[in-house]
Amino acid sequence: MAIELAPLPLPPTADQAKFDSDFGREVKGISPGELTPDQFQEIHDALYKHSALLFRDVTLTPEQQYALTKAFDPEAESYGHGNHKTQSTKKSILHPDLKTIPRVPQVQLIGNGTVTNHEGLESAALKHPSHTTFHKTKVSEEDEAAGITRFYRWHIDAALYDYSPPRVTTLYGITVPQGPQQKVRYDDGTGDELTVPLGTTAFVSGKKMFDLLPPKLKSLAVRTKVRYAPHPYVWMAPARAVSTGLGIENDGLELPLNELPEWEESKVMTLPILWKNPVTGGLHFQVHPCGAQELEITALPQVIAREGALYPDGGRITDLAEVRALLYKMQRPAIAPELVYPHDWKERDLVLFHNRGVLHTVVGAFKPDQVRAFHQCNLAASDVPVGPTEEDVLDVCLANA
Protein backbone atom coordinates (compact mmCIF):
# COMPACT_ATOMS: atom_id res chain seq x y z
CA MET A 1 0.00 0.00 0.00
CA ALA A 2 1.34 3.43 -0.93
CA ILE A 3 2.17 5.81 1.88
CA GLU A 4 -0.25 8.67 2.53
CA LEU A 5 1.15 12.20 2.17
CA ALA A 6 -0.69 15.35 3.22
CA PRO A 7 0.50 18.94 2.77
CA LEU A 8 1.89 20.61 5.87
CA PRO A 9 -0.35 23.42 7.06
CA LEU A 10 1.40 26.66 6.19
CA PRO A 11 1.40 29.45 8.76
CA PRO A 12 -0.78 32.52 8.15
CA THR A 13 2.40 34.44 7.37
CA ALA A 14 3.19 32.28 4.31
CA ASP A 15 2.45 33.61 0.85
CA GLN A 16 0.72 30.73 -0.92
CA ALA A 17 1.57 32.15 -4.34
CA LYS A 18 5.30 32.43 -3.58
CA PHE A 19 5.87 29.49 -1.25
CA ASP A 20 7.47 26.38 -2.73
CA SER A 21 4.36 24.24 -3.33
CA ASP A 22 6.37 21.03 -3.10
CA PHE A 23 7.80 21.86 0.32
CA GLY A 24 6.83 19.68 3.25
CA ARG A 25 4.47 16.75 3.69
CA GLU A 26 2.97 14.90 6.66
CA VAL A 27 3.27 11.12 6.41
CA LYS A 28 0.34 9.18 7.81
CA GLY A 29 -0.47 5.59 8.57
CA ILE A 30 3.00 4.06 9.00
CA SER A 31 5.60 3.76 11.76
CA PRO A 32 8.97 5.32 10.75
CA GLY A 33 10.83 2.98 13.06
CA GLU A 34 9.45 -0.13 11.33
CA LEU A 35 9.46 0.61 7.62
CA THR A 36 9.45 -2.16 5.05
CA PRO A 37 11.98 -1.78 2.20
CA ASP A 38 9.22 -0.65 -0.16
CA GLN A 39 7.91 1.88 2.36
CA PHE A 40 11.40 3.25 2.94
CA GLN A 41 11.90 3.73 -0.79
CA GLU A 42 8.71 5.78 -0.91
CA ILE A 43 9.87 7.82 2.08
CA HIS A 44 13.28 8.28 0.47
CA ASP A 45 11.84 9.67 -2.75
CA ALA A 46 9.23 11.77 -0.93
CA LEU A 47 11.87 13.41 1.23
CA TYR A 48 13.99 14.47 -1.75
CA LYS A 49 10.90 15.76 -3.54
CA HIS A 50 9.35 17.59 -0.58
CA SER A 51 12.47 18.50 1.49
CA ALA A 52 10.81 17.83 4.88
CA LEU A 53 8.57 15.05 6.18
CA LEU A 54 6.59 15.07 9.42
CA PHE A 55 5.43 12.01 11.38
CA ARG A 56 3.06 12.73 14.29
CA ASP A 57 2.70 10.79 17.57
CA VAL A 58 5.73 8.55 16.99
CA THR A 59 7.47 6.18 19.39
CA LEU A 60 11.11 5.98 18.34
CA THR A 61 14.14 4.63 20.18
CA PRO A 62 17.62 6.11 19.57
CA GLU A 63 18.54 2.88 17.81
CA GLN A 64 15.56 3.19 15.47
CA GLN A 65 16.32 6.84 14.78
CA TYR A 66 19.92 6.01 13.91
CA ALA A 67 18.79 3.13 11.67
CA LEU A 68 16.28 5.34 9.86
CA THR A 69 18.85 8.09 9.29
CA LYS A 70 21.48 5.60 8.17
CA ALA A 71 19.08 4.04 5.66
CA PHE A 72 19.47 7.19 3.54
CA ASP A 73 23.24 6.62 3.43
CA PRO A 74 24.09 3.01 4.38
CA GLU A 75 27.86 3.59 4.14
CA ALA A 76 27.77 6.48 6.62
CA GLU A 77 28.99 5.64 10.11
CA SER A 78 29.59 8.64 12.37
CA TYR A 79 27.64 11.64 13.57
CA GLY A 80 27.92 14.60 11.20
CA HIS A 81 30.62 16.29 13.30
CA GLY A 82 32.27 13.03 14.36
CA ASN A 83 31.18 10.87 17.30
CA HIS A 84 31.87 12.66 20.61
CA LYS A 85 33.75 15.42 18.75
CA THR A 86 31.61 18.47 19.58
CA GLN A 87 31.85 17.91 23.32
CA SER A 88 35.63 17.42 23.21
CA THR A 89 36.25 20.59 21.19
CA LYS A 90 35.50 23.15 23.90
CA LYS A 91 36.38 26.15 21.72
CA SER A 92 33.65 25.22 19.23
CA ILE A 93 30.42 27.20 19.35
CA LEU A 94 28.61 23.85 19.17
CA HIS A 95 30.12 22.59 22.41
CA PRO A 96 27.30 23.64 24.80
CA ASP A 97 24.46 22.56 22.51
CA LEU A 98 24.88 18.79 22.19
CA LYS A 99 25.01 15.81 24.56
CA THR A 100 25.73 12.37 23.09
CA ILE A 101 23.51 9.38 23.85
CA PRO A 102 26.16 6.98 25.24
CA ARG A 103 25.03 3.75 23.60
CA VAL A 104 24.18 5.39 20.25
CA PRO A 105 26.83 8.10 19.75
CA GLN A 106 25.31 9.12 16.42
CA VAL A 107 22.25 10.47 18.28
CA GLN A 108 22.47 13.72 20.22
CA LEU A 109 20.30 15.05 23.04
CA ILE A 110 19.50 18.72 22.54
CA GLY A 111 17.10 21.06 24.27
CA ASN A 112 16.85 23.18 27.40
CA GLY A 113 16.94 22.70 31.15
CA THR A 114 18.14 19.74 33.20
CA VAL A 115 17.21 16.26 31.98
CA THR A 116 17.80 13.32 34.34
CA ASN A 117 18.03 9.55 33.84
CA HIS A 118 17.71 9.84 30.10
CA GLU A 119 18.90 7.04 27.80
CA GLY A 120 22.01 6.34 29.89
CA LEU A 121 22.68 9.96 30.82
CA GLU A 122 22.37 10.39 34.60
CA SER A 123 21.98 14.14 34.27
CA ALA A 124 22.33 16.50 31.32
CA ALA A 125 22.24 20.30 31.56
CA LEU A 126 20.90 21.52 28.22
CA LYS A 127 20.88 25.04 26.89
CA HIS A 128 18.72 26.18 24.00
CA PRO A 129 20.92 28.34 21.75
CA SER A 130 19.90 31.98 21.85
CA HIS A 131 20.72 34.95 19.66
CA THR A 132 21.78 36.80 22.82
CA THR A 133 25.05 34.84 22.91
CA PHE A 134 25.79 34.85 19.17
CA HIS A 135 24.53 38.09 17.59
CA LYS A 136 26.46 41.35 17.71
CA THR A 137 23.30 43.10 18.89
CA LYS A 138 20.35 41.69 20.78
CA VAL A 139 16.81 42.63 21.63
CA SER A 140 16.31 44.52 24.88
CA GLU A 141 15.38 42.69 28.06
CA GLU A 142 12.00 44.40 27.94
CA ASP A 143 11.36 43.24 24.38
CA GLU A 144 12.52 39.71 25.19
CA ALA A 145 10.12 39.60 28.14
CA ALA A 146 7.38 40.66 25.72
CA GLY A 147 8.15 37.73 23.42
CA ILE A 148 10.43 39.42 20.87
CA THR A 149 13.20 37.16 19.57
CA ARG A 150 15.37 36.43 16.54
CA PHE A 151 16.54 33.63 14.29
CA TYR A 152 19.64 32.13 15.90
CA ARG A 153 21.80 30.95 12.99
CA TRP A 154 20.68 29.88 9.50
CA HIS A 155 22.74 26.84 8.63
CA ILE A 156 23.19 23.40 7.14
CA ASP A 157 24.01 20.55 9.55
CA ALA A 158 27.62 20.00 8.56
CA ALA A 159 31.10 20.01 10.09
CA LEU A 160 32.39 21.68 6.89
CA TYR A 161 35.85 20.31 7.67
CA ASP A 162 36.97 16.71 7.16
CA TYR A 163 33.41 15.29 7.35
CA SER A 164 31.08 15.51 4.35
CA PRO A 165 27.69 17.24 4.88
CA PRO A 166 24.97 14.76 5.93
CA ARG A 167 22.24 13.92 3.45
CA VAL A 168 19.42 13.87 5.99
CA THR A 169 18.77 15.06 9.54
CA THR A 170 16.12 13.55 11.82
CA LEU A 171 14.67 15.49 14.77
CA TYR A 172 12.46 13.81 17.37
CA GLY A 173 10.58 15.86 19.96
CA ILE A 174 10.33 14.11 23.32
CA THR A 175 9.57 16.88 25.81
CA VAL A 176 8.12 19.99 24.19
CA PRO A 177 7.16 22.86 26.50
CA GLN A 178 4.18 24.92 25.43
CA GLY A 179 3.91 28.68 25.76
CA PRO A 180 2.84 31.86 24.04
CA GLN A 181 3.98 32.59 20.52
CA GLN A 182 7.05 34.73 19.99
CA LYS A 183 7.78 37.32 17.35
CA VAL A 184 10.97 37.13 15.30
CA ARG A 185 12.26 40.57 14.51
CA TYR A 186 14.76 40.81 11.64
CA ASP A 187 16.17 44.16 12.85
CA ASP A 188 17.86 44.81 9.50
CA GLY A 189 16.03 47.97 8.52
CA THR A 190 13.34 46.19 6.50
CA GLY A 191 10.74 46.06 9.24
CA ASP A 192 10.31 42.34 8.61
CA GLU A 193 8.79 40.32 11.45
CA LEU A 194 7.51 36.76 11.78
CA THR A 195 5.19 35.34 14.45
CA VAL A 196 6.34 31.83 15.43
CA PRO A 197 5.48 29.08 17.91
CA LEU A 198 7.65 28.89 21.02
CA GLY A 199 10.89 27.02 20.26
CA THR A 200 10.15 26.49 16.59
CA THR A 201 12.65 25.16 14.09
CA ALA A 202 12.40 27.36 11.00
CA PHE A 203 13.08 26.06 7.49
CA VAL A 204 13.56 27.64 4.07
CA SER A 205 13.87 25.93 0.71
CA GLY A 206 17.27 25.94 -0.97
CA LYS A 207 15.52 25.45 -4.30
CA LYS A 208 13.43 28.56 -3.72
CA MET A 209 16.58 30.41 -2.66
CA PHE A 210 18.08 29.71 -6.09
CA ASP A 211 14.88 30.26 -8.05
CA LEU A 212 14.45 33.74 -6.52
CA LEU A 213 17.79 35.01 -7.80
CA PRO A 214 17.85 37.56 -10.61
CA PRO A 215 19.49 36.37 -13.86
CA LYS A 216 23.01 37.70 -13.19
CA LEU A 217 23.15 36.09 -9.76
CA LYS A 218 21.80 32.78 -11.07
CA SER A 219 24.58 32.76 -13.64
CA LEU A 220 27.10 33.51 -10.90
CA ALA A 221 25.73 30.93 -8.43
CA VAL A 222 25.92 28.07 -10.91
CA ARG A 223 29.62 28.82 -11.48
CA THR A 224 30.75 29.39 -7.90
CA LYS A 225 32.18 27.30 -5.08
CA VAL A 226 32.61 28.22 -1.42
CA ARG A 227 35.78 27.53 0.50
CA TYR A 228 35.01 27.14 4.20
CA ALA A 229 37.42 28.04 6.97
CA PRO A 230 39.32 25.21 8.67
CA HIS A 231 37.48 24.13 11.83
CA PRO A 232 34.83 26.75 11.01
CA TYR A 233 32.94 26.53 14.32
CA VAL A 234 36.13 27.25 16.25
CA TRP A 235 37.19 29.91 13.72
CA MET A 236 33.88 31.79 14.03
CA ALA A 237 33.45 31.35 17.80
CA PRO A 238 34.82 34.77 18.86
CA ALA A 239 32.87 36.57 16.10
CA ARG A 240 29.27 37.70 16.22
CA ALA A 241 26.38 37.30 13.78
CA VAL A 242 24.20 39.76 11.94
CA SER A 243 20.70 40.41 13.25
CA THR A 244 18.97 38.00 10.85
CA GLY A 245 21.27 35.11 11.81
CA LEU A 246 22.34 34.90 8.17
CA GLY A 247 26.11 35.34 8.48
CA ILE A 248 28.81 37.04 10.51
CA GLU A 249 29.56 40.73 11.10
CA ASN A 250 32.83 42.00 9.64
CA ASP A 251 34.63 42.98 12.84
CA GLY A 252 37.77 40.88 12.33
CA LEU A 253 37.09 38.77 15.42
CA GLU A 254 37.49 35.37 13.76
CA LEU A 255 40.23 33.25 15.28
CA PRO A 256 43.48 33.54 13.26
CA LEU A 257 44.25 30.39 11.31
CA ASN A 258 47.48 29.85 13.22
CA GLU A 259 45.50 29.72 16.49
CA LEU A 260 43.07 27.05 15.31
CA PRO A 261 43.45 23.40 16.32
CA GLU A 262 45.86 21.61 14.03
CA TRP A 263 44.39 21.38 10.54
CA GLU A 264 45.20 19.93 7.13
CA GLU A 265 44.62 21.59 3.79
CA SER A 266 43.28 18.33 2.37
CA LYS A 267 40.44 18.36 4.92
CA VAL A 268 39.30 21.92 4.20
CA MET A 269 35.95 21.91 2.42
CA THR A 270 35.37 23.63 -0.91
CA LEU A 271 31.82 22.99 -2.06
CA PRO A 272 29.61 24.29 -4.88
CA ILE A 273 27.03 26.94 -4.01
CA LEU A 274 24.36 24.82 -5.74
CA TRP A 275 23.77 21.19 -4.77
CA LYS A 276 21.95 18.86 -7.16
CA ASN A 277 18.94 16.95 -5.86
CA PRO A 278 19.53 13.22 -6.54
CA VAL A 279 15.83 12.49 -7.17
CA THR A 280 14.42 15.63 -8.82
CA GLY A 281 17.61 16.92 -10.44
CA GLY A 282 16.81 20.40 -9.09
CA LEU A 283 19.50 22.82 -7.92
CA HIS A 284 19.41 23.96 -4.29
CA PHE A 285 21.34 26.98 -2.95
CA GLN A 286 23.18 25.39 -0.01
CA VAL A 287 25.68 27.66 1.72
CA HIS A 288 26.41 27.96 5.43
CA PRO A 289 27.13 31.70 5.44
CA CYS A 290 28.78 31.84 8.86
CA GLY A 291 31.62 29.50 7.90
CA ALA A 292 32.31 30.79 4.38
CA GLN A 293 35.81 32.19 3.87
CA GLU A 294 36.39 32.50 0.10
CA LEU A 295 34.55 32.15 -3.21
CA GLU A 296 35.97 30.46 -6.30
CA ILE A 297 34.29 31.38 -9.61
CA THR A 298 34.74 29.67 -12.95
CA ALA A 299 34.51 31.60 -16.21
CA LEU A 300 31.37 31.80 -18.26
CA PRO A 301 31.12 29.21 -21.04
CA GLN A 302 32.66 30.61 -24.23
CA VAL A 303 29.32 30.72 -26.02
CA ILE A 304 27.84 33.13 -23.45
CA ALA A 305 28.11 36.88 -23.97
CA ARG A 306 30.35 38.56 -21.39
CA GLU A 307 28.76 41.99 -21.43
CA GLY A 308 26.95 42.79 -18.20
CA ALA A 309 27.78 39.43 -16.59
CA LEU A 310 29.25 39.17 -13.09
CA TYR A 311 32.82 37.84 -13.02
CA PRO A 312 32.60 36.64 -16.64
CA ASP A 313 36.22 35.47 -16.62
CA GLY A 314 35.96 33.81 -13.24
CA GLY A 315 38.13 34.65 -10.27
CA ARG A 316 38.62 34.21 -6.57
CA ILE A 317 37.13 36.45 -3.89
CA THR A 318 39.25 36.39 -0.75
CA ASP A 319 38.09 39.58 0.95
CA LEU A 320 35.86 38.32 3.75
CA ALA A 321 33.58 41.37 3.72
CA GLU A 322 33.03 40.99 -0.03
CA VAL A 323 32.35 37.26 0.33
CA ARG A 324 29.78 37.88 3.03
CA ALA A 325 28.10 40.78 1.27
CA LEU A 326 27.64 38.77 -1.92
CA LEU A 327 26.30 35.70 -0.12
CA TYR A 328 23.93 37.82 1.94
CA LYS A 329 22.59 39.50 -1.18
CA MET A 330 21.90 36.08 -2.66
CA GLN A 331 20.44 34.39 0.42
CA ARG A 332 18.46 37.11 2.20
CA PRO A 333 15.41 37.13 -0.16
CA ALA A 334 14.65 33.47 0.69
CA ILE A 335 14.30 34.09 4.43
CA ALA A 336 11.57 36.71 3.94
CA PRO A 337 8.73 36.05 6.42
CA GLU A 338 6.34 34.81 3.72
CA LEU A 339 8.80 32.07 2.68
CA VAL A 340 9.68 30.63 6.10
CA TYR A 341 8.12 27.43 7.47
CA PRO A 342 8.28 27.55 11.31
CA HIS A 343 7.38 24.09 12.59
CA ASP A 344 4.97 24.02 15.53
CA TRP A 345 6.44 21.17 17.58
CA LYS A 346 4.29 18.68 19.44
CA GLU A 347 5.56 15.90 21.68
CA ARG A 348 6.49 12.77 19.68
CA ASP A 349 6.80 14.69 16.41
CA LEU A 350 9.48 13.30 14.12
CA VAL A 351 10.75 15.56 11.35
CA LEU A 352 13.07 14.36 8.59
CA PHE A 353 14.63 17.03 6.43
CA HIS A 354 16.82 17.00 3.35
CA ASN A 355 19.95 18.59 4.82
CA ARG A 356 21.33 19.14 1.31
CA GLY A 357 18.18 20.92 0.18
CA VAL A 358 17.09 23.27 2.98
CA LEU A 359 18.53 25.75 5.45
CA HIS A 360 17.19 25.85 8.98
CA THR A 361 17.62 27.62 12.28
CA VAL A 362 16.83 27.39 15.95
CA VAL A 363 14.47 30.19 16.97
CA GLY A 364 13.39 31.83 20.20
CA ALA A 365 14.28 31.57 23.85
CA PHE A 366 13.24 29.46 26.83
CA LYS A 367 13.37 30.19 30.53
CA PRO A 368 15.92 28.10 32.49
CA ASP A 369 13.18 26.01 34.12
CA GLN A 370 11.45 25.13 30.83
CA VAL A 371 12.62 21.58 30.05
CA ARG A 372 12.87 20.65 26.40
CA ALA A 373 14.37 17.38 25.13
CA PHE A 374 14.89 16.35 21.51
CA HIS A 375 16.91 13.65 19.80
CA GLN A 376 18.85 14.74 16.73
CA CYS A 377 20.65 12.49 14.30
CA ASN A 378 22.60 13.15 11.14
CA LEU A 379 25.51 11.25 9.68
CA ALA A 380 28.64 12.49 7.95
CA ALA A 381 27.94 11.44 4.39
CA SER A 382 29.80 8.81 2.43
CA ASP A 383 29.97 11.24 -0.52
CA VAL A 384 30.29 14.95 -1.19
CA PRO A 385 27.37 17.01 -2.52
CA VAL A 386 27.10 16.94 -6.30
CA GLY A 387 27.15 20.35 -7.90
CA PRO A 388 25.84 21.51 -11.26
CA THR A 389 26.96 19.53 -14.32
CA GLU A 390 28.56 21.28 -17.29
CA GLU A 391 25.19 21.02 -18.98
CA ASP A 392 23.51 22.67 -15.97
CA VAL A 393 26.04 25.51 -16.08
CA LEU A 394 25.45 26.07 -19.79
CA ASP A 395 21.66 25.86 -19.46
CA VAL A 396 21.51 28.29 -16.54
CA CYS A 397 23.92 30.75 -18.13
CA LEU A 398 22.10 30.64 -21.48
CA ALA A 399 18.71 31.14 -19.82
CA ASN A 400 19.99 34.06 -17.80
CA ALA A 401 22.32 35.76 -20.25
224-270 pLDDT, tens per residue? 999 999 999 999 999 999 999 999 999 999 999 999 999 999 999 99
Distances (CA, A) of 230 to 91, 234, 293, 316, 327: 13, 8, 9, 18, 19
Top pLDDT among 92 and 42 is at: 42
Q: Name the pLDDT band for 87 (thresholds 50, 70, 90).
A: very low
pTM of the model: 0.95
Distances (CA, A) of 335 to 208, 245, 341: 10, 10, 10
Encode pLDDT of 334-368 as tens digits: 999 999 999 999 999 999 999 999 999 999 989 88
pLDDT of 6 strictly over 90: yes
Q: Collapse the DSSP code of 88 into the 3-class scheme (helix H, G, I; strand E, B; otherwise coil) and give the result.
A: helix
Report the DSSP pairing between strands 25-28 and 52-55: parallel
Separation of alpha carbons 81 and 360, rounded Å: 17
Average pLDDT score over residue span 95-111: 86
Q: Name the pLDDT band for 2 (thresholds 50, 70, 90).
A: confident
Q: Collapse the DSSP code of 248 into the 3-class scheme (helix H, G, I; strand E, B; otherwise coil) and give the result.
A: strand
Q: Which of 176, 167, 133 is nearest to 375 (CA)?
A: 176
Encode pLDDT of 122-178 as tens digits: 889 999 999 999 999 999 999 999 999 999 999 999 999 999 999 999 999 999 999
Separation of alpha carbons 129 and 389, rounded Å: 38
Residue 273 and residue 198 in contact, taking contact as beta carbons nearer than 8 Å: no
pLDDT of 381 strictly over 60: yes
Give the chain's length. 401
Separation of alpha carbons 325 and 400, rounded Å: 22
Distances (CA, A) of 110 to 22, 30, 34, 150, 336: 29, 26, 24, 19, 27
Give the ranges where 185-318 is alpha helix by DSSP (H): 206-211, 215-221, 232-235
Encode pLDDT of 264-315 as tens digits: 999 999 999 999 999 999 999 999 999 999 999 999 999 998 899 999 999 9
**Number of other residues whose CB lies within 10 A of the CB of residue 206:** 29
Encode pLDDT of 194-210 as tens digits: 999 999 999 999 999 99
Identity at 391, one-letter amino acid code: E
pLDDT of residue 1: 58
pLDDT of 88 strictly over 50: no
